[in-house]
Structure 1
Amino acid sequence: MVGMTSNEQAVVARLDAAAMLAQVEHWAAINSGTRNLDGLARMATVLADAFAVLPGDVSLIEPAPVESVAADGIVSPLAHGRHLLVRVRPDAGRRVLLMGHMDTVYGADHAFQTLHWREPGVLVGPGVADMKGGLAAMLAALTAIEAEGGCALGYDVLINSDEETGSLSSAALIAKVAAGKVAALGYEPALADGTLVGARGGTGNFSIVVRGRSAHAGRNPEEGRNAIVAASEIAVRLADARGDGLWVNPARIEGGGPNNVVPELAVLRVNFRPRDAGAIARAQAVVDRVTAEVAGRRGVSVAVHGGFNRPPKPVDAGAEALQAVIEDAAGSLGIAVGWRDTGGVCDGNNIAAAGVPVVDTMGVRGGAIHSSDEFLLVDSLIERAALTAVTMLRIAARLPT
């Protein structure tokens, strides 16, 4: 531990690898898929109890309203779980956000529900890396800091229930809690070799509802207005708009019926991946233009639902300064750190959009996330908890207000 203060050494010495592992095993045994509201309620209660050891206020926040477009084109409310917020030293002059999520991609009916050891030190299970391992490392670091007398920083811990589906019910809460923070740490898993994510692209999801007119496909097809054809034309034209920092993925068309009926309804699902704010503006303009032109030419009505829920996350001067603090902390701990940009998105995008420097892969090392082979490298629990602890102490000492 080169160049560490006595306080930093004392905090790291308090970390308990066995206790963290037991916590991960307990939490990963609770199914908390984003749509499993009962499982999320149980998970939120368990996490609230666990984080109550910190010297702050613990609350469960109701989700914001979210609408969903079904395959029949009907728009209806979509229920979400509550979000956990812990506020420690809210009156401190300098405050940090620690961001995590309790939901997983594995629903209550998914086949992947149990944990097993792939080999010594490699635990396989739903959410062990993404991100129940990260939550355990985060909590252990904060608990150790407080046990050694705390630090000059105040902080909020926000753990939402819908990150895996775009944080639609928590986006406004993230922006509110992030406001004014000097830095933020997120607990998405690092890569297995310890690489952290730097810049991220953005994302937007759209459901485009096309309504035409049904008719007999043989007797009077000219009186029909084929919604499937119109939706397909929109899909092709949007796909052709990719390039210059924008990727477009028309993912699904729902609708239609018997072969002898001109389909009157289609729902097109499209995902956009913009590299920068300019690409978002271009994509929105393309959506507006293409849907209007196809509606006019095909004699259909088109309703566009959705939007760009996660803007791109660049690495600006503030993020570079935070990365430097993390690299310094890692060096003192003997941890190798590398950086890689990605097109994947997470709540780090939302935090950066609030003007707060963020590094969002402070979680455990692991891999195969979102699959039935998801694994956690168990020795990374104490490693990443130590990295968080030392980083927090050095943010308190070094980052400007």
Structure 2
Amino acid sequence: MIEDLEELVLCESFSSDLEAVARSAKVVAAMGARHLGAQPEFLVIDGVAHLRWVFGTPRVLLLGHHDTVWPSGSLATHPWSVVDGVARGPGVFDMKAGLVQTFHALAGLDSLDGVTLLITGDEELGSRTSAKLIEDTARGLAAAFVMEASADGGALKTSRKGTSLYTVNVRGKAAHAGLEPEKGANAGIELAHQILAIAALGSGATTVTPTVLSGGTALNTVPAAASVGVDVRVAEVSEQARVDAAMRSLVPVVPGTHLEILGGPNRPPLESAMSASLYALAQDVAAGLGMEPLTSASVGGASDGNFTAGVGCPTLDGLGAVGGGAHADHEHVLVAEMPRRTALLRALISAVR
């Protein structure tokens, strides 16, 4: 397993580098073929390489991604290593160790009948090209096991917030800020009004956060344009709909300005009801394997498991690596946990099929 993990980590796969993602897909495909005895479908959508294996009549989906957030060349500053039982390197935790565990779990089954394995190439960019593929693959199945890294302490992820992404553009009218500012329509002031209104949409577990700001062209010019990006996280589908309706109902305050609202829901929430039965099953399976009792976590970050849950497929997330530091300098995997999590996944697949 360590040798396989090294092979994947040494093949960098920065999401925005399509050539690197394509090379990674070939390495992952070859590794999968070695373990599973079958070549995958290569599904290239808008230049992004995804892989899918289907065995018999689909019943259970294993879901992962091979792209990472680490820019090409990151191995120079974050080299692959295994020291004192800790593996490090770009993408080792999120989520190349999860892919290795998946292949080894499947390789140990007597039969692969009923299993579908989908490994996408743009999860870290919001799954722009793979969302529909994930939904179509998961629809009607009995279970989806998402091989994303675990939460703190190895906890399984039983709920994830859904995400919506917006850009609010303000159009105003330029004028000389010293000579005749009254003849302008200040897009910056309008944006300030809108930022306050947008931030007020957050409530309870729902967060609505204005993020990237831009506007204006010169210190002595009334800005004719301004914009803000908005990140929304929700725990329930109803909240996602509420915020979306409110965003689209925004109206300008400053006379002479106009609003353009772009974007919308990106991923639906993975609600705990969609994972409850599988988490209970995982607890029973872990006990049967003599493992310590499993723990669970609700997290704000989204994954492709949000899509599977969104089409009604029971989904359990966080079955991948145990470690920490996703996307950070201290990203790492606890090697001793890899075979344990592999055994848990293998038993879960057998129980569901």
Please confirm whether the aligned pair reaches a TM-score higher than 0.5, indicating the same fold: yes
- Name the residue aligned to 2:323: 366
TM-score (norm 2): 0.94
Between the aligned partners of 1:178 and 1:57, the Cα distance in structure 2 is 20
Give 2:79's aligned residue.
114
- 1:228 CA drift (Å): 2.2
Q: Quote the residue 1:320 is aligned against.
A: 276
Structure 1 residue 245: Cα displacement: 3.9
* Equivalent residue letter for 1:180: G
1:2-401 pair list within 5 angstroms = 20-53=1-34, 54-56=36-38, 58-63=40-45, 81-89=48-56, 92=57, 95-108=59-72, 112-117=77-82, 119-145=83-109, 148=110, 150=111, 153-290=113-250, 293-294=251-252, 297-316=254-273, 319-336=275-292, 337-396=294-353
Asked whether the equivalents of residues 29 and 39 of structure 2 are also in contact (C-alpha less than 8 Å), the reply is no
The answer on whether the counterparts of 1:213 and 1:226 sit within 8 Å (CA) in structure 2 is: yes
Query: 1:349: how far off?
Result: 0.9
- Change in Cα spacing, 1:43 to 1:102, as seen in structure 2 (3 Å) is same
* Alpha carbons 1:101, 1:162 under 8 Å: kept: yes
* Aligned partner of residue 62 in structure 1, secondary structure: strand
What are the superposed Cα offsets for residues 155-176 of structure 1, whole Å, 9 maximum, x if unpaired? 2111111111211211111110
Q: 1:267 to 1:392 in 2, by over 3 A?
A: same
Structure 2: state its 5+ residue gaps.
Answer: none
SS of the aligned residue for 2:191 comes to: helix
Matched residue type, 1:365: V
Q: Please report how far the alpha carbon of residue 127 of structure 1 lies from its aligned counterpart in structure 2 after TM superposition.
A: 0.8
Find the residue that maps to 1:52 and give its secondary structure: helix
Which structure 1 residue ranges, 5 or more long, are not aligned? 1-19, 65-79, 397-401
Q: For residues 127 and 246 of structure 2, what CA distance do their matches in structure 1 show?
A: 25
Q: Which residue type is aligned with residue 328 of structure 1?
A: D
How far apart, CA to CA, are the structure 2 residues paired with 1:368 and 1:386?
24
Percent of pairs with identical residues = 33
Runs in 1 of length 4+ with deviation above 3 angstroms? 109-113
Conserved in 2, the CA contact under 8 Å of 1:192 and 1:377? no
Cα distance, 1:262 vs structure 2: 1.6
Deviations 1:40-90 (A, max 9, x none): 0100111111222425551121225xxxxxxxxxxxxxxx5221111111x
Question: Quick one: distance in 2 between partners of 1:109 and 1:122?
Answer: 22
- The question of whether the paired residues in 2 share the 8 Å contact of 1:112 and 1:126 is answered with no
**SS state at 1:82 partner:** strand
Q: Give TM-score, length-normalised by structure 1.
A: 0.83
Query: Shift in Å at residue 107 of structure 1?
Result: 1.6
AA matched with 1:330:
A
Preserved CA contact (<8 Å) 2:189 2:254: no
What is the rounded CA distance, in whole Å, between the counterparts of 1:241 and 1:189 in structure 2?
Answer: 31
- The one-letter amino acid paired with 2:69 is V
1:160 & 1:245 partners in 2: Cα distance?
29
Q: CA RMSD in A?
A: 1.8
Q: Is the 8 A contact 2:186 2:254 kept in 1?
A: no
Tell me how far 1:129 sits from its aligned partner: 1.0
- Which residue identity is paired with 1:378? V
Number of equivalenced pairs: 350
